[in-house]
Structure 1
Amino acid sequence: MKLILSVIWLASLWSLCTGGGDWCYPSQFTCNHQCNVPEKWDHANRDCAGKYQSPINIVTRKTLKDDLLTPFEFKNYQQIFRSSIKNNGHSVQVNIPHLSTISGGGLFTSYKAVQLHLHWGNNGGPGSEHTIDGEQFPMEMHIVHMKSHYSDLTTALRDPEGIAVLGFFYERSNSANRKYDPVISALRSIKATNGNTSMPPLSLAQLILSERNMTSYYRYKGSLTTPGCTESVVWTVFEKPIPLSQDQLSAFSEVQFNDGKHMIGNFRPVQPLNGRQVFRSGSTVMMSSFSLLLAMVAMAMGLSKPN
């Protein structure tokens, strides 16, 4: 009931206040800060009303196995690099030297990493952009790549498959993920919009899953999840989440929007699939079947125990 009343209140607020020219998330909107919420992003950029938008809800039973979705080949993901982390007013972003590349995984060419950013909820609450069978995770990271022969994102975005984004979910863990200490520590220095600080040396490999845990993933064609919403993205969404502690997840909610409000709920709601097919890697099915087998064995053992 509270959720319904909240939605009604927001709808009435949006109708009373005239949206401004810039785009924003619902947690930013007030009559004093009039902006285009996700439902009106097409007012900021008409491409946001496109037919093949992201993110989406991945319905696992409707996915189609694709044998071409083999394990990725990660090159220079282990390489240590120096960079900075920035509060860009909508997320936190780390620029990546164009040295790390991905290939394989059903991609028809290699793509080089450009930047990574994250989307989250409120103090570890639901905040991922993609959902799996309706489940929303606390946070989601996007590592943005462009085709290796391009020199800038603007050019790559003109190519219908110019961008490849790797999406990683996060889950709440009982212990801190020490590999994330450099990122979490840096957040304190970039609370304000346009805050920028140097990062300790790190590698992409330390921020993601081990390669053996990245063979299960989903693939579909979609768009950027912020304006201009360009439909030039080959999406890969990994099944297994990355663990972070509650304190680590909550640290992201201390970052601020440009009006000084806490940056929470900076995710776009899921978009209509509009007839697109979502594919899954072969190992996704194998893992699901194996998990089902384990559950059945555990159930059988429980039933066989004497009273």
Structure 2
Amino acid sequence: MQQQLILYLACAWTLCAGSGDWCYQSQFSCDHQCNAPENWDHASRNCAGRSQSPVNIVTRKTMKDDRLTPLKFENYQHIFRGLIKNNGHSVQVGVSHPSTISGGGLSTTYKAVQFHLHWGNNGGPGSEHTIDGEQYPMELHIVHMKSQYSDLGTALRDKEGVAVLGFFYEMSNSPNRKYESLINALRNIKPTNGNTTLSPIALAELIPPEQNLTSYYRYKGSLTTPDCSESVVWTVFENPIPLSMDQLKAFSELRFQNGKPLVKNFRPLQPLNGRTVFRSGGAAVMISSALLVVALAVGLEVSQPN
């Protein structure tokens, strides 16, 4: 980290004031001078806002909201062949068929637009959101917009125009077969702007079963890339998705536009600035269960004779 800072400071002296492109810290170099995360507000003023994402979710400070019932997923089982692309910042897949989410405290129905991922380096820490300071290897974002809008740009002008579902990944001893088509496609999109048609897949295959999606957190935030519009209703799920180490490492074989490995493409954590993170009833049960286990353990220890 110190070496990266020294490199950044050394290059900053020659950074062109008019440079408007943005990048991750792992992409910045003297050969590719760009606005790293701490300077994203140079690329877009929104990035200096007070309701930015991602955030660290401190579970003991979350507030239970009884309105956060299980979400209703429509057409998530629908099989489609989307275009998968290395856009220079992430892997992104467009969703062209009408898959929607509603309920769960959302004000209306939202339709899926695209999904993309954020990861570390060869399976290392890489999620954008963290739970009690824990950073997972990777995070999936399924981006939705209100159904009445026809394009994302219009939706982002609405303070609640976009709803993003966030899912964490964890390392598994065995590969996740449901991810084979996605992982296999990565070898065809290694360079920036590389794209190919994804083998038939359904959104439901990429996420945990619906019955395991009752535990989640909700807060108002922003896009995690410029222009950082503060128009996002975030839903971050507790239950992680398993991937093998080889599957996680496959993402690190992609390349940024400057040819460097596309790794650590996550934005640093942003301050809550007084915002409240709410939790669903399912998340509350899990927290209560954890406390119950601790209480029982303490009780047993106290009851043991000297």
Same-fold status (TM-score > 0.5): yes
Q: Which residue number in structure 2 is paired with residue 246 of structure 1?
A: 245
**Structure 1, residues 163-217: CA drift from partner, whole Å, max 9, x if none?**
0000000011111001000000000000011111011111000000111111000
Q: CA deviation at 1:14?
A: 4.5
Asked if residue 266 in structure 1 is aligned to residue 265 in structure 2, the reply is yes
Q: CA deviation at 1:140?
A: 0.3
User: Which letter does structure 2 place at the counterpart of 1:138?
Assistant: P
Q: Which residue number in structure 2 is paired with residue 288 of structure 1?
A: 287
Q: Which residue number in structure 2 is paired with residue 61 of structure 1?
A: 60
Structure 1 window deviating more from structure 2 (121-130 vs 289-298): it is: 289-298
Asked if residue 13 in structure 1 is aligned to residue 7 in structure 2, the reply is no
Q: Which residue number in structure 2 is paired with residue 143 of structure 1?
A: 142
Secondary structure at the counterpart of residue 184 of structure 1: helix
**Structure 1, residues 115-171: CA drift from partner, whole Å, max 9, x if none?**
000000000001001111111110000000000111111111110000000000001
User: Which letter does structure 1 place at the counterpart of 2:56?
Assistant: N
User: Which letter does structure 2 place at the counterpart of 1:68?
Assistant: R
User: Which letter does structure 2 place at the counterpart of 1:103?
Assistant: S
C-alpha distance in 1, partners of 2:276/2:41? 24
User: Which letter does structure 1 place at the counterpart of 2:3?
Assistant: S
Structure 1: tracts of 5 or more residues without a match: none
Alignment check: 8 A CA contact 2:8 2:29 kept: no
Q: Which residue number in structure 1 is paired with residue 228 of structure 2?
A: 229
CA RMSD for the aligned pairs?
Answer: 1.9
C-alpha distance in 2, partners of 1:303/1:262? 54
Q: Which residue number in structure 2 is paired with residue 182 of structure 1?
A: 181
Structure 2: tracts of 5 or more residues without a match: none
Secondary structure at the counterpart of residue 28 of structure 1: coil
User: Which letter does structure 1 place at the counterpart of 2:193?
Assistant: N
C-alpha distance in 2, partners of 1:236/1:190? 29
C-alpha distance in 2, partners of 1:159/1:166? 18
Q: CA deviation at 1:259?
A: 1.2
C-alpha distance in 2, partners of 1:69/1:45? 32
C-alpha distance in 2, partners of 1:216/1:134? 18
Q: 1:1-307, aligned counterparts within 5 Å?
A: 3=1, 5-6=2-3, 8-18=5-15, 20-294=19-293
Q: CA deviation at 1:97?
A: 1.6
C-alpha distance in 2, partners of 1:138/1:24? 20
Secondary structure at the counterpart of residue 248 of structure 1: helix
Alignment check: 8 A CA contact 2:208 2:241 kept: yes
C-alpha distance in 1, partners of 2:136/2:275? 23
Q: CA deviation at 1:21?
A: 2.0
- Following superposition, which runs of at least 4 residues in structure 1 exceed 4 angstroms of deviation? 294-305
User: Which letter does structure 2 place at the counterpart of 1:18?
Assistant: L
C-alpha distance in 1, partners of 2:295/2:183? 40
Alignment check: 8 A CA contact 2:8 2:28 kept: no
Alignment check: 8 A CA contact 2:170 2:243 kept: yes
Structure 1 window deviating more from structure 2 (20-29 vs 249-258): it is: 20-29
Structure 1 window deviating more from structure 2 (116-125 vs 5-14): it is: 5-14
C-alpha distance in 1, partners of 2:255/2:200? 25
C-alpha distance in 2, partners of 1:195/1:74? 31
